[in-house]
Chain A
Amino acid sequence: MNQNTENFEQLRRLLKLKRYEQPPPGYFDRFSSQVIARIRLGERGEESAVIERLLWEAPWLQRIWAAFEAKPVLAGVFGLAVCGLLITGVIYSENGDVQPVALIPVTESLPSSTEVANVNAESHPLLVKPAALETSSTNPITALETDGLLLGGLRAQPTSFVLPGRN
């Protein structure tokens, strides 16, 4: 050890050597652009991380995504289907004179509450007698037959078959 331990002048001179250590030429010309590029990449990475998290949380989406990646044809077909639906929607929206279809026929005059109460269940096609619902697990057709109508007028009838060669 140097005898004069508190006089660091020689050491400080030696440490000056480190100030001459320089990275390769042109290093600092590229440095900031590399930093900016990594920042941009990180921002894009955050966006892709959101997609990855979505895929992770919805496995069915992941399977679809995997199928699209494995078979690009599927992705094409899917795209065509979406386009077809879109075009169909546009065409239908342009036909504005189409009348809305009523699911239930609208009567001219609404019945009063007493009339509603006195509606005969047999005369109304939408009302079914409770007896009709009492189906038997062993013979459901028979149970429905007592009420008569099935599927809007089709009547179910028991049939008998005679096989040839038998009495």
Chain B
Amino acid sequence: MIMTEPARRKAPNPSDESPAGPEPAPAPVEEAELVKRARKGDLAAYDDLVRRYQERIYATIYHMTANHEDANDLAQEAFIKAFQALRSFKGGSSFYTWVYRIAVNKTINFLKQRKNKAQMSLDDLDFNAEHDPDLVALISDKTPRREVNLAELQEKLNAAMQKLSEPHRLVVTLHDVQGLSHEEIAKIMDCNIGTVRSRLFYARQQLQAYLSDYLQ
């Protein structure tokens, strides 16, 4: 389901040439302090941690599921599980990477258990998408499918993403959509960087094949 009314919410600067990846990590001491307090049951401290990472966690899950309701549930459950498991958090990685890993594992388990392809429930496109030069170029006269509009392009792109396997979809999401580095993705997926690169290459090839009608 595509909602026709575009959201007026400001996107996290997606028009930049570099992908809108994670912002520089907040001061580690402060995050460590928040984690320490949250571990003692301080929900206000945990609320701060949730606010810091909620958009990135939600976005990752949403791009994996292409369903707002599922993404909402899974993101909430990921943060709840992280809170319950805070005592087992050793601090070997950043809290951000650790939560990301919980969210990703939860999402992949959910997608494996989901027997049938769920109907897509896509978020609205931000108003600024219409003014993005790259996207304007895609729907310009040069595009083979001239009648296409952004909403249709969004639907086709999400449908193509859903055809990928979960690990390949995850790599594309984390790198090409969220802008994480290969190293960060390797940490989150608990694999080596070579695997990340090869999965990314294969996933792009697949997507390019699925979307050839919409690419020059």
- Asked if A17 meets B172 with Cβ closer than 8 Å, knowing A10-B216, A11-B204, A11-B208, the reply is no
User: Which of A5, A10, A20, A23 has its CB near the most chain B CB atoms (within 10 A)?
Assistant: A20
State which size class the interface on B falls in.
35 or more
Nearest 8 Cβ contacts at the A-B interface: A19-B14, A20-B129, A13-B134, A32-B50, A20-B126, A21-B123, A10-B215, A1-B209
Whether B215 contacts A11 by the Cβ 8 Å rule is yes
- Check B75–A31 contact: CB distance below 8 A: yes
B85 at the interface (CB under 8 A from A): no
Report yes or no: A8 in contact with B204, Cβ–Cβ below 8 A. Answer: yes
Interchain CB contact under 8 A, B12 and A16? no
Chain A's closest residue to B124 (CB) is A22
Q: Tell me if B100 counts as interface (CB < 8 A to partner A).
A: no
Contacts of A13 in B (CB 8 A): 134-135, 137-138
- Interface secondary structure of B, over-half rule: helix
Given known A-B contacts A17-B157, A19-B14, A36 and B7 have beta carbons under 8 A apart? no
Taking a contact as CB atoms under 8 Å apart, the answer to whether A5 and B50 are in contact is no
Is B183 positioned at the interface, with any CB of A under 8 Å from its CB? no
Q: Would you call A14 and B153 a contact (CB within 8 A)?
A: yes
Pairs across A and B, CB under 8 Å, 5 listed:
A2-B215, A17-B153, A18-B157, A21-B125, A32-B50
Q: Judge whether A40 is part of the interface by a CB distance below 8 angstroms.
A: yes
Q: With both chains docked as a complex, state the minimum distance between the C-beta of A8 and any C-beta of chain B, in angstroms.
A: 5
Tell me which of A11, A12, A22 has the highest count of chain B C-beta atoms within 10 A of its own C-beta.
A22
* Main secondary structure on A side of the interface with B: helix
Q: Does A60 contact B (CB under 8 A)?
A: no
B95 interface hit (Cβ, 8 Å): no
Q: Is B162 part of the binding interface, using a Cβ–Cβ cutoff of 8 Å?
A: no
Q: Kindly provide the distance from the CB of A140 to the nearest chain B CB, expressed in whole angstroms.
A: 70
Kindly list chain B residues whose C-beta atoms are within 8 Å of the C-beta of A22.
Answer: 7, 9, 11, 123-126
Q: Which residues of chain A have C-beta atoms less than 8 A from B176's C-beta? A: 11-12, 15
Kindly list chain A residues whose C-beta atoms are within 8 Å of the C-beta of B84. Answer: 42
Partner of B135, one of A5, A17, A36: A17
Asked if A20 and B215 make an inter-chain contact with CB atoms under 8 angstroms apart, the answer reads no
List B residues at the A interface (Cβ < 8 Å). Answer: 7-9, 11-12, 14-15, 19-20, 43, 46-47, 50-51, 54-55, 58, 62-63, 68, 72, 75-76, 79-80, 83-84, 122-126, 128-129, 132, 134-135, 137-138, 150, 153-154, 157-158, 172, 176-177, 204-205, 207-209, 211-212, 214-216
* A24 close to B (CB within 8 Å): yes
Interface residues on chain A, size class: 20 to 34
Other than A19-B19, A20-B128, A40-B43, give 7 A-B pairs with Cβ distance below 8 A.
Answer: A1-B209, A2-B215, A13-B137, A14-B214, A15-B157, A17-B125, A22-B11
Chain A hits for B129, CB < 8 A: 17, 20
In angstroms, Cα B86 to Cα A39, docked, is 13
* B68 and A23 contacting across the interface, CB-CB below 8 Å: yes
Contact in complex: A31, B211 (CB < 8 Å): no
A20/B153 in contact, CB under 8 A: no
Q: Which residues of A contact B63 (CB under 8 A)?
A: 18, 21
- Complex Cα spacing A38 to B43, Å: 11
Query: Given known contacts A5-B208, A31-B54, is B7 in contact with A23 (CB within 8 Å)?
Result: yes
Give the chain B neighbours of A24 by CB distance below 8 A: 7, 123-124
A14 to B143, CA, bound (A): 12
Closest to A38 in B: B80
Q: Which of A17-62 contact B (CB under 8 A)?
A: 17-25, 28, 31-36, 38-40, 42
Would B7 and A34 count as touching, CB distance under 8 A?
no
| Interface pair B43/A39, CB less than 8 Å apart | yes
